[in-house]
């Protein structure tokens, strides 16, 4: 089955085979070596040249675990968080801080619009209690890429802390974490890194990590400094998904062999292949090209096909597309190009898509 949903993704045989390595105990040296190897590879891939300034913190759990641990661990007592919300995952950030009553008024945008840095600057001036700003890098709801560098500059100029949900972006989009003054970035193994879901991570600036130690503990499982202390000793506070760590390690080997920049270029090329063909078929994208990410495109449904019919006909032929969410649920479909997939596979999908449209 070719997965055109934004995670879980198709993985290589090499990554799949890594699942069956030997059974080990997470309190023994073999696990410490595995853990420290993954951390070093994450830093090399995503903060090259600034490895000593960041810590990579691993959590057994899907991307949401990493995002929630970053959110819950980053707010000092008496301070709050400002969320930039332009999609389902921005909304989710709001809900997380809302649960703990730690939010200030979020800045809400249309799902096809980007946050405006000047509005963020104004909001931070008006809300001295907003200590942290949270945003999603790639809003998977529509495939919209948010202006990370511009927002990070504003947040930094106001002496605030910027945290980024880059769960669907890391290894698919360029991101200069270190020079953009980003304090925390949440990511997952199971999307553009091409591992399995179930392991996620947060890249944290070390100076901020020390400050976080004084912040209130708001979760038992997701308190980030608890992980940092354990992982420093080569273990994890709770039983880790050991076999998924093996596969994650192998996926990172593949990423570093391919090169992060080349991975991004490959995704961009596959997205262009999809977009050119869809344009020829007059299938209309939800976003203008300047807003689109490298790894997902949202399209309005062709008139003659409901989502379910399109999905089922494609699935019969071995292709899984993805539905819209929220108010776009019955109006759009999404095609992700994440994972260990070849140009020939994408061409096969597009040929099948065209046949289904012509027959409808
Ligand atoms: C931007 C973004 N953030 C967070 C998540 C949540 O990740 P998970 O489903 O792995 O918990 C997703 C999932 O698609 C996502 O796209």
Report pLDDT for 167.
98
Preceding omega of 8 cis (within 30 degrees of 0): yes
Residues 6+ apart with CB under 8 A from 125: 158
Protein residue closest via CA to atom 8 of ligand 1: 63
The CA distance from 227 to 225, in Å, is 5
pLDDT at 101: 87
What pLDDT is stored for residue 104 in this prediction? 84
In a mutational test of the pocket of ligand 1, which residue from 167, 185, 199 has the highest number of ligand atoms less than 8 Å from its CB?
167
Beta strands 296-300 and 199-205: pairing type? Answer: unpaired
| Residue 85 CB neighbour total at 10 angstroms | 22
Pocket of ligand 1 (CB under 6 A): 6-7, 62-64, 67, 89, 136, 140, 165, 167-168, 188, 197
The pLDDT score that the predictor gives to residue 100 is: 86
For 262-311, how does the pLDDT look when each residue is reduced to its tens digit (9 = 90+)?
999 999 999 999 999 999 999 999 999 999 999 999 999 999 999 999 99
Largest CA distance in the chain: 63
Structure tokens, 181: 């003054």
* Domains of the chain with bracketed CATH: 13-257 (3.40.640.10), 260-359 (3.90.1150.10)
Element (H, E) at 133: strand 130-136
Distance 8 CA to ligand 1 centre (A): 10
User: What's the confidence (pLDDT) of residue 105?
Assistant: 83
Measured in Å, residue 338 CA sits from the centre of ligand 1 at 13
Q: pLDDT tens across 238-247, in order?
A: 999 999 999 9
Global model pTM greater than 0.85:
yes
Mutate to test the pocket of ligand 1, among 188, 195, 326 (most ligand atoms within 8 A of CB): 188
User: What is the predicted pLDDT for the residue at 345?
Assistant: 98
What is the best residue among 4, 65, 66, 89 to mutate for testing ligand 1's pocket, by most ligand atoms within 8 Å of CB? 89
Ligand 1: atom nearest CA of 65 is 11
Ligand 1 nearest-atom number relative to CA 7: 14
Indicate the pairing of strand 130-136 with strand 138-139.
unpaired
Ligand 1 pocket mutation pick from 4, 59, 168 by most atoms within 8 angstroms of CB: 168
Query: Of ligand 1's atoms, which has the minimum distance to the CA of residue 136?
Result: 1
Q: What is the mean pLDDT of each run of 10 residues along the chain (360 residues)?
A: 98 98 95 98 98 97 98 95 97 94 90 97 96 98 97 97 98 95 96 98 96 95 96 94 98 98 98 98 97 98 95 98 92 98 98 95
- Contact residues for 104 (Cβ-Cβ < 8 A; gap 6+): 80, 81, 82, 127, 129, 130
**Alpha carbon of 309 to ligand 1 centroid (Å):** 26
CA 280 – ligand 1 centroid, Å: 31
pLDDT in the model for residue 260: 98
Q: Which atom of ligand 1 is nearest to the CA of 169?
A: 1
Give residue 33 CA to ligand 1 midpoint distance, Å. 28
Q: Which atom of ligand 1 is nearest to the CA of 67?
A: 4
26-33's contacts with Cβ under 8 Å and 24+ in sequence apart are 26/235, 26/236, 26/239, 26/240, 26/242, 27/235, 29/234, 31/234, 31/235, 31/240, 31/242, 31/245, 32/233, 32/234, 32/235, 33/234
Distance (angstroms) between ligand 1 centre and the Cα of 194 equals: 14
166-201 CB burial, b ≥16 within 10 A, e <16: bbbbbbbbebebbebbbbbbbbbbbbbbbbbbbbbb
Q: Which residue out of 63, 144, 173, 186 has the highest number of ligand 1 atoms within 8 Å of its CB and is therefore the one to mutate? A: 63
pLDDT tens for residues 246-256?
Answer: 999 999 999 99
Rounded to the nearest whole angstrom, what is the distance from the C-alpha of residue 187 to the centroid of ligand 1? 9
Atom of ligand 1 nearest to the CA of 141: 16
């Amino acid at each position: 089955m070719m997965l055109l949903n934004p995670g879980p993704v198709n993985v290589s045989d090499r990554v799949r085979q890594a699942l069956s390595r030997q059974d080990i105990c997470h309190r023994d040296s073999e696990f410490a070596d595995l853990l420290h190897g993954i951390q070093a590879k994450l830093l090399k891939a995503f903060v090259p040249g600034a490895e000593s300034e960041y810590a990579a913190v691993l959590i057994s759990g899907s991307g949401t675990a990493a995002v929630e641990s970053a959110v819950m661990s980053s707010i000092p007592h008496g301070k709050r968080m400002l969320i930039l919300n332009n999609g389902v995952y921005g909304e989710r950030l709001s809900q997380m801080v809302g649960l703990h009553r730690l939010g200030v008024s979020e800045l809400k945008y249309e799902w096809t619009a980007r946050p405006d840095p000047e509005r963020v600057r104004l909001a931070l001036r008006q809300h001295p209690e907003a200590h942290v700003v949270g945003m999603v890098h790639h809003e998977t709801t529509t495939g919209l890429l948010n202006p990370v560098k511009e927002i990070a500059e504003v947040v930094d100029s106001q002496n605030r802390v910027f945290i980024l949900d880059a769960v669907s972006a890391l290894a698919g989009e360029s991101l200069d974490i270190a020079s953009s003054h980003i304090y925390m970035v949440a990511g997952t193994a199971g999307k553009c890194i091409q591992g399995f879901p179930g392991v996620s991570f947060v890249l944290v600036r070390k100076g901020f990590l020390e400050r976080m130690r004084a912040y209130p503990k708001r979760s038992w499982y997701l308190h980030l400094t608890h992980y940092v202390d354990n992982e420093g000793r080569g273990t994890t506070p709770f039983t880790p998904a050991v076999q998924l760590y093996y596969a994650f390690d192998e996926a990172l080997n593949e990423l570093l062999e391919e090169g992060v920049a080349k991975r991004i270029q490959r995704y961009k090329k596959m997205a262009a292949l999809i977009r050119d063909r869809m344009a020829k078929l007059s299938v209309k994208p939800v976003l203008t090209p300047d807003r689109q990410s490298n790894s997902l495109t949202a399209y309005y449904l062709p008139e003659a096909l409901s989502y379910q019919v399109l999905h089922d006909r494609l699935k019969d032929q071995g292709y899984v597309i993805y539905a819209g969410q929220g108010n776009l649920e019955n109006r759009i479909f999404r095609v992700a190009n994440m994972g260990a997939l070849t140009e020939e596979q994408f061409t096969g999908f597009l040929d099948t898509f065209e046949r289904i449209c012509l027959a409808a």
